[in-house]
Structure 1
Amino acid sequence: MMHEDQAAGAMPAAPPREGRPPRGRGRPQGDRPKRREISGWVILDKGVGMTSTHAVAAVKRALNAKKAGHAGTLDPLASGILPIALGEATKTVPFVMDGRKAYVFTVTWGTETDTDDAEGRPVAISDKRPTREEVEAVLPRFVGAIEQVPPRYSAIKIQGERAYDLARDGEVIDLVARPVQIDRLAVVAHTEERTIIEAECGKGTYVRAIARDLGRALGCLGHVSALRRTRVGPFAEDQSCTIGALEAAQGEEVPAVLRPVETALDAVPCVPVSRDMALRLMRGQSVILRGRDAPAAGKAYATCNGILVAVGDVERGELVPHRVFHLGGIAARHG
């Protein structure tokens, strides 16, 4: 199961061997390339077996980028879309995390596990197997605004502790149901032992919990045995690349794998501003918006000559910046 990687405690340095310079000394200058200031989005197609944290590290290493972060954890068991923000794009991560998500997942019937996926320990079994018609008949119960109990092995915090840490310690966890939005569930394929389902849902939805609850509703039990994320917010599979493609990208090829920072703001209105207004926004000062196309309220982002300047809230005809960007000429420009 996915967990936050813990930093190892620092170990005292071993004395250098005779005749060999201490580690980190005597290395020729320029042997390690300097980290680059690079901003934009990499839409990674993460493979099975890699944690989200390791995926971010691999992207940083491949592009030699200074700063990176991901927009929404994808379990090691899962593959698919993991948007990774570089540089100034990290300021737009919340907009992507709040976006809709799409998955294709396989439910294997007959066994419920303690993790609700194939990595867990079986906790209950059933000889019953559902027909396709039975599965399709029960799906509408789980579409719309519903209450969902997260898996015991999840990153939900209970009195400051992660649920998966408590579960591993053998503690009995009583997680409270939370409201989630599931827009669509549809059967893609079905056999006696398993069913492949497409899902479109909102932030905070656990696909593993959908599989668990479907199994209980059908009286046959079940768990997720395969999971692929196909969309996160504005990002989809046709925009994605692999770690191998990133490692092969050199020099002028690097921008080709980047999406512009403002791609994350796809659902937010754009307001062009003058250079003087842009300078005010970058100092954290609000500006008055004019023109009949200017938004009256809500989120908006400002650009100057096509370059992202700030994102904030429109209040009483003014754009109040909450995040400012320093992209200059280094913004990822991608047609």
Structure 2
Amino acid sequence: MARKRKGRDISGWLVVDKPAGITSTAVVNKVKWALDAKKAGHAGTLDPEATGVLAVALGEATKTVPYITDALKAYRFTVRLGQATNTDDAEGEVIHSSDLRPEDADITDALSAFIGDIQQVPPKFSAVKIDGQRAYKLARDGEDVELSARALWVEELLLIDRPDADHVELEMTCGKGGYVRSIARDLGEALGCYGHVLKLRRIWSGPFEATNGLSMDQIKELERTPALDDHIQPLEIGLDDLTELRCTEEGAAKLRNGNPGMVFAADGVEYGDEAWASLNGEAVAVGVYKAGELHPSRVFVRPA
């Protein structure tokens, strides 16, 4: 018989302003313990040395993680010009260097090639799987890692600051699966001077912003107290990009059992659209809208 999972049945989102020097998994584990939560996960890994938004999903909110992962997100990062590293960030070994330093205008011109639908090769030291193994593990073992290019949508890529000849600060808004380290590497190659990420901060992800996130010190101060619960945001925030369709008590009961349930139509929703059903403002299910009914794919189960 399976062991009963310990912890409280709490659902929602806790936004963390992740510091450098800690993994995303370690942050989730700390939040889970601090809230005595039964279940927790996160919506998008940050590298250990990266900072900024790490949205931690609790309980039933974990079912909305894909919608946050797919949402646009923004990063502010510093590129060290003149050096390429084997990890494409400051943690790696310098493998190429150059004395060339491009002008600001040259950098701005080069950025245009990285906007829109682009193809991006992930860093060799990344969590991409090759034949079932993580690329970074193979790279650490000295294997020659070959990764295929992947599609990425870049909404915006701006030159924010040029503090000195060796450094440039950029801000990027992109879709799912973007590697900032790859942008720095490829920009350096395009400019002929090499480059790698020196600092990286995710400033927002979907509806969540770093400025509204708790620090790890704040979480430690509030751990295991009702005051930390006050910072939990509703799971429905994870559904912001979907249309909300209200349902009746009868419709909600059917949906909770995994069956199609009647919903009220809303402006803009069409047959076959993905949407979510609510009863008294609380999410009941996510599914596909068909002729007055929602056909559920995810059902939210709340404590009695």
Q: Normalising to structure 1: TM-score of the pair?
A: 0.85
The structural deviation recorded for 1:100 is 0.7
Q: Quick one: which of 108, 112, 118 aligns to 2:84? A: 112
C-alpha separation in 1, matches of 2:266 and 2:232: 33
The superposition leaves residues 36-56 of structure 1 with CA deviations (integer Å, 9 ceiling, x where unpaired) of 221110111000000011010
Which of 245, 253, 256 aligns to 1:271? It is 245
CA contact (8 A) 1:271 1:294 kept: no
Name whichever of 294-303 and 76-85 sits farther off. 294-303
Tell whether 2:207 aligns with 1:247. Answer: no
Q: Quick one: distance in 2 between partners of 1:180 and 1:66? A: 34
In structure 2, which of residues 250, 261, 266 is the aligned counterpart of residue 287 of structure 1?
A: 261
2:123 corresponds to: 151
- Displacement after TM superposition at 1:295 (Å): 2.3
Deviations 1:222-280 (A, max 9, x none): 10000000111111123211122223336442332111001000010001111111110
User: Are the aligned partners of 1:308 and 1:327 in contact in 2 as well (CA < 8 Å)?
Assistant: no
3-state secondary structure, aligned to 2:155: strand
Opposite residue 257 of structure 1, the aligned amino acid is: H
Mapped to 2, the partners of 1:42 and 1:70 lie a distance apart of 10
What is the DSSP-based 3-state SS (H/G/I as helix, E as strand, rest coil) of the residue aligned with 1:257?
coil
Runs of 4+ in 1 over 4 A off after TM superposition: none
Aligned to 1:314: 289
Q: CA deviation at 1:159?
A: 1.4
Q: Could you tell me which residue of structure 2 aligns to residue 75 of structure 1?
A: 47
Selected match of 2:108 from 136, 145, 167: 136
Question: In structure 2, what is the Cα distance between the partners aligned to 1:141 and 1:116?
Answer: 19
Residues 27-46 of structure 1 aligned to structure 2 (within 5 Å): 35-46=7-18
The residue that corresponds to 1:210 in the other structure is 183
Deviation at 1:291, TM superposition (A): 4.1
1:88 alignment partner, SS class: helix
Q: Distance in 2 between matches of 1:165 and 1:36?
A: 35
Aligned length: 296
Structure-1 residue corresponding to 2:168: 195
CA distance in 2 between partners of 1:262 and 1:77 (Å): 30
Shift of 1:316: 4.2
3-state secondary structure, aligned to 1:54: helix
Cα 1:121/1:35, change in 2 over 3 Å:
same
Matched, 1:91 2:66: no
Identity over aligned pairs, percent: 46
Q: 2-side partners of 1:291 and 1:308: how far apart?
A: 16
| Correspondence for 1:6 | none
Residue 302 of structure 2 aligns with which residue?
327
Equivalent pair of 1:111/1:221 in contact (CA under 8 Å): yes
What amino acid is the match of 2:49? L
| Structure 2 residue 38 is matched with structure 1 residue 59 | no
Structure 2: state its 5+ residue gaps.
1-5
Q: Which moved more, 1:127-136 or 1:197-206?
A: 127-136
Computing the radius of gyration from Cα coordinates, the structure with the larger value is 1
Please report the TM-score for the alignment, with normalisation by the length of structure 2: 0.93
Q: 1:309 to 1:315 in 2, by over 3 A?
A: same
Q: What residue is the counterpart of 2:195 in the other structure?
A: 222
The root-mean-square deviation of aligned C-alpha atoms, in Å, is: 1.5
Give the deviation of 1:293 after TM superposition: 3.8
Distance 1:103 1:294 in 2: 31
Contact 2:287/2:296, CA 8 A, preserved across alignment: yes
What is the alpha-carbon distance in structure 1 between the residues aligned to residue 185 and residue 267 of structure 2?
47
Letter of the 1:271 counterpart: L
Aligned partners of 2:246, 2:129: CA distance in 1, in Å? 41
> Aligned partners of 1:169, 1:198: CA distance in 2, in Å?
33
- Structure 1 regions of 5+ residues with no counterpart? 1-33, 330-335
Counterpart CA distance in 2 for 1:140 and 1:47 is 31
AA partner of residue 56 (structure 1)? V
Shift of 1:196: 0.4
